[in-house]
Amino acid sequence: SPEVQAAELPASNGIGTAHALARMYAALIGEVDGVRLLTSETLASAAKEQASGKDQVMLIPSRFSSGYMLSTETNPMIGPNSFGHTGRGGSLGFADPEQ
């Protein structure tokens, strides 16, 4: 609903299409239509583990970098250097610099 979309819910209400999310993640790891969102240094930080352990909400092991979830045995994404985030309703967006 427009009311939900207009609400400010930190870390919870990013809204977009699958195509837009794929383009955003692609632009994090490479150039898309002349735009690259992360420098190589920032990209390295996006894939570097900062914290790990049992997620107290999902009750499964999790790993995080600076702002992104990292792959785990229960959430392998596409490889060991993948980074991204799960979303509501089972959605998942991620990038893998090596793939």
**pLDDT per residue over 9-59, tens digit each?**
777 777 788 899 999 999 999 999 999 999 999 998 888 999 999 988 888
Record the pTM: 0.81
CA distance 31 to 44: 16
